[in-house]
Amino acid sequence: MRRRIYPVTLPMSEIKSVGVVGGGMMGSGIAQLSAVNGFEVWIHDSDSAALSKANQSISTRIQSIVSKGQLSKEKGAQALRNLNCTSNLEDFGLVDIVIEAIVESEEVKKRLFGLLDNIVKSSAILASNTSSISITRLASATSRPSQVIGMHFMNPPPIMKLVEIIRGANTSDDTFNATKVLAERLGKKIICSQDFSGFIVNRILMPMINEAFHALYTGVATKEDIDAGMKYGTNHPMGPLELADHIGLDVCLSIMRVLYAGLGDSKYAPCPLLVQYVDAGRLGRKKGFGVYNYSKM
């Protein structure tokens, strides 16, 4: 693909426009958060139905927070005007940062970053919402590795306070500082991780979830008692099996495989029960059935 050249109009620290790739729960949440905080936002999904659903869900959520008095009518209306939906990546040509929130697959993310590298202006930052994949390896798919960074939002992005920032081997100070300023403007608490598999949150969280599956698999206790033990014994807002359903069992399995491959320790091997559930299509809330059956609720 022939590289398109766009003018550099802003220093990196002055991010004013945000592109988001992925119309799912994470992508639409990041787009909503950015629009509400005054950024011009472009959200992309190649699936027109998913894009339409994302647009509708963002509009509904913004109207809801306005009705609850958490956002003024004027700011709610402006947030909706800030939002642009597109199925054409070429529309990202002038954004200051692109945050990808697509499937947790290194191959797919690298392919996307290679495409974006030839579309966005030369000063633009490419950020990944990956929860486990090496930023250094993602950056290798581009001609701008110093401008590639990890920006891991928690689910759902408009509510959860944390953003985990991950520097790749070549991420520049300018890129890090601009991303940190953006996260602060979005009202987030920031933690910083080196580029190791799983980073901070999932390096700790996913083995706990995996161990909960082992406890269920080996008959230590029922799923209800495992979750209740962590909720009422350690003051977690939900149990690890319930949380796995919320995240998506396929996502949990993918992260455990990244941890196992990247760290080479058998303690990160995915529990056979987790593998079996994913193979059976029991992916959690998004499919109506995971550890728990949500079709009966």
- Cite the active site residues: 131, 152, 164, 202
What is the rounded distance in angstroms from the CA atom of residue 128 to the CA atom of residue 151? Answer: 6
Consult the annotation and say whether 24 binds a ligand.
yes
Consult the annotation and say whether 25 binds a ligand.
yes
What is the rounded distance in angstroms from the CA atom of residue 27 to the CA atom of residue 42? Answer: 11
Element (H, E) at 94: none
Consult the annotation and say whether 114 binds a ligand.
no
Consult the annotation and say whether 211 binds a ligand.
no
Consult the annotation and say whether 288 binds a ligand.
no
Consult the annotation and say whether 26 binds a ligand.
yes
Consult the annotation and say whether 74 binds a ligand.
no
Consult the annotation and say whether 267 binds a ligand.
no
Cα 11 vs. chain centroid, distance in angstroms? 25
Q: Which two tokens stand for residue 6?
A: 């766009």
Q: Do the Cβ atoms of 29 and 6 come closer than 8 Å? A: no
3-state SS assignment for residue 241: helix
Cα 174 vs. chain centroid, distance in angstroms? 22
49 by Cβ neighbours in 10 Å (0-12 / 13-18 / 19+) ranks as exposed
Consult the annotation and say whether 27 binds a ligand.
yes
Annotated binding site: 22-27, 45, 104, 109, 131, 155, 286
Annotated binding site for NAD(+): 22-27, 45, 104, 109, 131, 155, 286
